[in-house]
Amino acid sequence: MINLVLFGPPGAGKGTQADKIKERFNLLHISTGDVIRSQVKAETELGKIAEVQMASGGLVSDELVIGLMKNYLSEQEGAVGTIFDGFPRTTAQAEAFDVMLSEIKESVTVMIALEVDEEELVKRLLLRGNASGRADDMSEEIIRNRISVYNAQTAIVSNFYEKQGKYVAIDGTGTIDNIFGRISAVLENYTK
């Protein structure tokens, strides 16, 4: 079973690439951001707490996100594998994730990190905000805050997987198909 952590700052193209990867490699895809947004929309208890944390571009608490992921994994026994998009985002989440996966005799296969510079990220996110109306993509201030949160709290998660020999960085610029080609070349090593 392939457990791919698709990593990178907001706007790096994780969602876009995940759509292509899941088709080609027959994987499931979970985006913690999407799950949280749907809980906010449904006005669940969890959604109400998350909404406040999310609005300024900060992270939702580890406890809440780890709980969501435990739920997801409890339904995944025997599945083909998953692309984890937007998770783990802190070292505490990465540590908890290893434990959760080992409980179902699984582990992270590889982390693929998409590298894109900050000005390009801001440009892409503002465009996405215009097209989608997603609140945290519409304000440059919130976007820059999300990137700072990524630099301060999330970027370090790559060290966790680097130490395990599971970290691969990819150039996240160019056409969608170019980037997908780079990702596929890595993933093919795990599917043969």
Choice from 9, 21, 81, 87 touching ligand AMP (CB under 6 A)? 87
Residue that has been written with the tokens 């198909």 in this structure: 177
Catalytic residue among 20, 123, 128, 144: 128
Q: Which is nearer to ligand AMP, 70 or 189 (CB)?
A: 70
Q: Which is nearer to ligand AMP, 57 or 129 (CB)?
A: 57
* Cα-only R_g, the chain: 16
Residue 37 CA to residue 47 CA, distance in Å, equals 7
Our answer to whether residue 144 is catalytic in this structure is no
Q: Minimum CB separation from ligand AMP for residue 32, in Å?
A: 3
For residues 51 and 44, the answer to whether their CB atoms sit within 8 Å is: no
User: Is residue 54 close enough to count as binding ligand AMP by CB under 6 A?
Assistant: yes
Stretch that binds ligand AMP, among 83-91, 117-125, 162-170, 181-189 (CB under 6 A): 83-91
Choice from 17, 32, 82, 109 touching ligand AMP (CB under 6 A)? 32
Our answer to whether residue 89 is catalytic in this structure is yes
Q: What DSSP string describes 121-171?
A: HHHHHHHHHHHH--GGGT-HHHHHHHHHHIIIIITTHHHHHHHTT-EEEEE
Q: Which residues are catalytic?
A: 14, 89, 128, 134, 146
